[in-house]
Amino acid sequence: MQCPNCKKCETQVIDSRMSEDNTVRRRRECFCCRFRFTTFERVEPARAVVIKKNGREEPFERKKIENGIRRAAKNTEVTETDIERIVTKVEQEIFKGGEDKITSREIGNLVIDKLKKIDEVAYLRFASVYKEFSDIETFEKEINKMK
Ligand SMILES: [Zn+2]
Q: What is the pLDDT of residues 110-136, one digit of tens each?
A: 998 999 999 988 998 888 877 665 455
Span from the CA of 41 to the centroid of ligand 1 (angstroms) = 20
> What is the pLDDT at residue 114?
93
Instruction: Provide the domain count of the chain.
Output: 2
Nearest CA to 85 out of 108, 62, 101 is that of: 62
Span from the CA of 89 to the centroid of ligand 1 (angstroms) = 25
The domain in which residue 129 lies consists of 49-146
Whether the model clears a pTM of 0.75, i.e. scores above it, the answer is: no
Span from the CA of 30 to the centroid of ligand 1 (angstroms) = 5
Give 15's strand partners. 27
Provide the pLDDT confidence category of residue 5 given band limits of 50, 70 and 90.
very high
* Contact (Cβ atoms closer than 8 angstroms) between residue 43 and residue 18: yes
Q: Are both 84 and 133 inside the same structural domain?
A: yes
Q: How far apart are CA 3 and CA 103, in angstroms?
A: 35
> For the chain, what percent of residues have pLDDT higher than 70?
80
Q: Are both 32 and 64 inside the same structural domain?
A: no
> What is the pLDDT at residue 83?
92
Q: Are both 70 and 142 inside the same structural domain?
A: yes
Q: Are both 117 and 58 inside the same structural domain?
A: yes
Span from the CA of 31 to the centroid of ligand 1 (angstroms) = 6
Q: Are both 34 and 103 inside the same structural domain?
A: no
Span from the CA of 27 to the centroid of ligand 1 (angstroms) = 14
Span from the CA of 28 to the centroid of ligand 1 (angstroms) = 10
Q: What are phi and psi of 37, to 5 degrees?
A: -155, 170
What's the DSSP call for residue 10? Answer: B
Span from the CA of 34 to the centroid of ligand 1 (angstroms) = 6
Q: How far apart are CA 34 and CA 74, in angstroms?
A: 41
Q: Are both 20 and 79 inside the same structural domain?
A: no
Mean pLDDT over all residues of the chain?
82
Residue 3 lies in a domain: no
Q: Are both 33 and 90 inside the same structural domain?
A: no
Residue 16 lies in a domain: yes
Q: How far apart are CA 6 and CA 34, in angstroms?
A: 10
